[in-house]
Chains A and B, each alone.
Chain A
Amino acid sequence: MNAQSQMQEPMLSVRDLHAYYGKSHVLRGVTLHIQPGEVIALLGRNGVGRSTTAKAIMGEVAPKGEITFKGQPIAGLESHRIARLGLGYVPESRDIFPTMTVRQNLILGIKDMKRPGKYSIEQMLEMFPNLAARADNPAGVLSGGEKQMLTMCRTLMGDPDLIIIDEPTEGLAPKIVQQIGDMIAEIAKTGVAILLVEQKLSIALRIASRVYVMGHGEIVFEGTPAEFRTRDDVRKEWLEV
Chain B
Amino acid sequence: METIVFSLLNGVIYGLLLFMLSSGLTLIFSMMGVLNFAHASFYMLGAYFAYTVTDATSYWFALIFAPILVGLVGAGVEKWGLRRVHANGHVAELLFTFGLAYLIDEVIKIVYGRNAVDYRVPEALDFPLFTLYGAQYPAYRIFMLFVAVAMLVALWVLLKRTRAGLIIQAALTHPHMVGHLGHNVPMIFMTVFGVGCALAGLAGVIGGNYLVTDPFMAAYMGPIVFVVVVIGGMGSLEGAFVASILLGLLQTFAVSVDASFADLFGWIGLSSATEVGRITIAQLAPMLPYLLLVLILFVRPRGLMGEREL
**A residues near B, CB below 8 A?**
58-60, 78-80, 82-84, 88-89, 91, 95, 97, 99-100, 104, 107-113, 154-155, 158
Contacts and interface: CB of A to CB of B under 8 A. Distances in A.
B171 to A, nearest CB: 10
Given A78-B186, A100-B166, A104-B166, A111 B173 contact: no
A158 B179 CA distance: 12
A99 B166 CA distance: 10
A83 B176 contact: no
A104 B178 CA distance: 13
B180 A89 contact: yes
B179 to A, nearest CB: 4
B185 interface: yes
Interface in B174-212: 174, 176-186
A79 B179 contact: yes
Contacts of B182: 80, 83-84, 111-112, 158
A64 B178 CA distance: 24
B24 to A, nearest CB: 21
Contacts, number: 62
Contact of B181 (A60, A78, A109): A109
B170 A108 contact: yes
B180 A79 contact: yes
Contacts of A104: 166
Contacts of A95: 174, 176-177
A79 B167 contact: no
Select the residue from B169, B173, B180, B184 with max chain A CB neighbours within 10 A. Answer: B180
B84 interface: no
Contacts of A109: 181
A154 B181 CA distance: 8
A58 B181 CA distance: 11
B169 A155 contact: no
A113 B186 CA distance: 20
3 closest pairs, A vs B, by CB? A79-B179, A111-B182, A83-B182
B169 to A, nearest CB: 7
18 contacts: A78-B179, A78-B186, A80-B183, A80-B185, A83-B179, A83-B180, A89-B180, A91-B176, A97-B177, A100-B166, A100-B170, A104-B166, A108-B167, A108-B170, A108-B181, A108-B183, A154-B181, A155-B181
Interface in B144-185: 163, 166-167, 169-170, 173-174, 176-185
A177 B180 CA distance: 24
